[in-house]
A and B are shown apart, each in its own frame.
Chain A
Amino acid sequence: MSNIIKTIDVTDSLENLKDVCDIENGRIAGKIFYDQAIYEQELEKIFARCWLFVAHESQIPDTGDYITTTMGEDEVIVIRQKDGGIKVFLNACPHRGNKVCFAESGTTRGFICNYHGWSFNVQGNLVGQHESGIYEASDFDKAKWGLKEVAQVDSWKGLVFATFDPEAPTLQEYLGPMTWYLDALFDNQEGGTEFVGGCIRSTYECNWKIAAENFVGDILHAGWTHDSAARAMLGGSVAKVSDFDESYSVNWNGHGYEFALDTVGNVAVLGESALNKYLHTIKPSVAERLGEFRSNMIGAVSSCTLFPNFSFLAGQNTVRVWQPRGPNKIELFTWVVVNKSAPQEIKEKWRKGAMMTFSPTGVFEMDDGENWEYCTKTAKGRVTAAQDLYIGLGMNTLQRDTSLPGNVYKGQLNEANARAYYQQWFDHLSTKRWSELPDRNIGKKEAE
């Protein structure tokens, strides 16, 4: 007995998208960060279509445990079922659309709408109403009016995703070989990971893409933007990324992971030697579990974004979703992820360290915020928004002869992932359904 959402109509694509996004020629335009019409298309063709991160399994361990969040601008409830599964519902009563759950997290028997007392159990079924007699007299069929469920829910190594689109490929198809890289953080120890309790929510006046793009493949900015934070935390400048012998930018379906293999470059900025030591201690077991290559990634200089708006930094262990709230505004949700098996003092250091570096009070994040807001704000100017923006670094760095999975590019100082990210964005905005989306992947689907 389920009530799956009705899918929304899809409007025609905007004309002249190539004017604002021409990846082949390495350029985009600021209009994509400011324009309302483009944003409306994104809500329809990206946020109503793609797999979006909604929760970590550890946040909702027992029956009736829930968190609320948004998928794009749609409010949803994510709740653990008796059979161990997870359901995701629109947080809107099917009677008049009133929000049925006002808390961000908790445990419940169900949800009762404050308006007319429609009561829904944990499975989302409508089990009764205030003045139920009148409904019975009207031949009301309760079974048709439960909470509306999203089309698909699935998870990868504790990360729970959902999509509104029944035609979306499976989550595994969607993530492709990125899962191989995700495991370096989310499955490097037995038992997997958990989120630290709570969630920090903050507001930025920037476009969601500019922040997501930063994490998909922009380690280039670290040495300049974050010089002050590095000096404050480490007493010296940011690690000179150009000195690394080996680093990569890997992407697939618009997702991107850029990384070095220095094991602790990212975690080091938390300024807690115990965390560096922890990673060095577990590294041999990670090598056994995932192989030597990935054991070098566990806290290395790196960043990742899963298209469209889920990002994380292994090492700092900060996890975020850039929630769109209009073309010029986001709500940023920030969590910290730790290995379940890590000692309590280690988990504590990560909780504090991530807050110290990447949060609204984070010494690194302070300087990012300015950059992202002003990349967005200058696009308010009609003329400025139409100008070409350069996105051409590393045009010829594709590695065809590699055993690594994904579309692999040499070097993390590279805009290859950003190009792939915007290309995917362009493709979604140019098509009306999943089946029309071109497959631009050239690399291997699986690791050798």
Chain B
Amino acid sequence: MSAQSENQTEQLYPVSLEQHHKVSCFLAYEYRLLDEECFDDWLALMHEDVHYWMPGIENRRRENLLEHGFYAGDHMAYFDDSLRDLGRRVARFKQPSAWAENPGTRNVHQVSNIEVYYGETDGEYVVHSVFQSVRSRGLDEEYVIYGRRKDVLVQQGGSFKIKKRLILIPSATLSCKNINTFL
């Protein structure tokens, strides 16, 4: 993740304190929806052209880095979804026959290190954040996933829609069997 230099210019234009607060609230609200299993409400926060992407992380030497360092656009991924794909995942969660969801998973999602910059066009914002997701299943299963995110949010009415999300975990090997939530 630090192996390649991202576009530095965006960091010259942070938004106002008030706007930063609005974005932070939005991100916290998004995560509370997931913690409360409000999947339809969560899906409604997605822009119709959303690209929700969590690439596979490949452990490679510095001399042999991929397109984006540890990941590439056309390689294996955990999520590489459009709105339709996210909808299908939500559809599964709502099935009574989703055996692995009953008893339910208890989620706590955490977001921090929020940076908000003006995006390329009016009403668009580039948002960096760090996240941690804790899931507990059954009596003693506990899984933690953490990483960085880079979002593009689009202002819509008094709130935002998520147009792009890039999720980067540091792990080349996922320490759990599945990711039955969103990050």
Contact = CB atoms under 8 A, between A and B. Distances in A.
Direct contact between A and B judged by beta carbons closer than 8 A = yes
A360 B92 CA distance: 14
Given A103-B61, A105-B58, A201 B174 contact: yes
A229 interface: yes
Nearest to B78: A361
Interface stretch (B28-36, B97-105, B156-164): B97-105
A33 B176 CA distance: 19
A348 interface: yes
B141 to A, nearest CB: 9
Interface in B128-150: none
B177 A204 contact: yes
B60 A199 contact: no
B178 A361 contact: yes
Contact of B100 (A106, A108, A201, A369): A369
A104 B172 contact: yes
Interface in B61-80: 61, 63-64, 71-72, 74-80
Given A228-B99, A361-B78, A367-B100, A198 B85 contact: no
Interface in B12-71: 54, 56, 58-61, 63-64, 71
Given A102-B59, A104-B59, A231-B97, A351 B74 contact: yes
A363 B179 contact: no
Interface in A273-323: none
A203 B63 CA distance: 28
Most buried by B among A107, A204, A228: A228
Given A228-B95, A232-B91, A361-B179, A103 B60 contact: yes
B173 A335 contact: no
A184 B98 CA distance: 32
Contacts of B71: 198
Contacts of A197: 72, 74-76
Interface residues of B, number: 39
B76 A335 contact: yes
Interface string A163-202: 0000000000000000000000000000000001111111
A199 B173 CA distance: 10
Contact of A352 (B80, B91, B101): B80
Interface string A329-366: 00100111000000000001001100110011111011
Contacts of A348: 74
Contacts of B180: 366
A87 B169 CA distance: 32
B5 interface: no
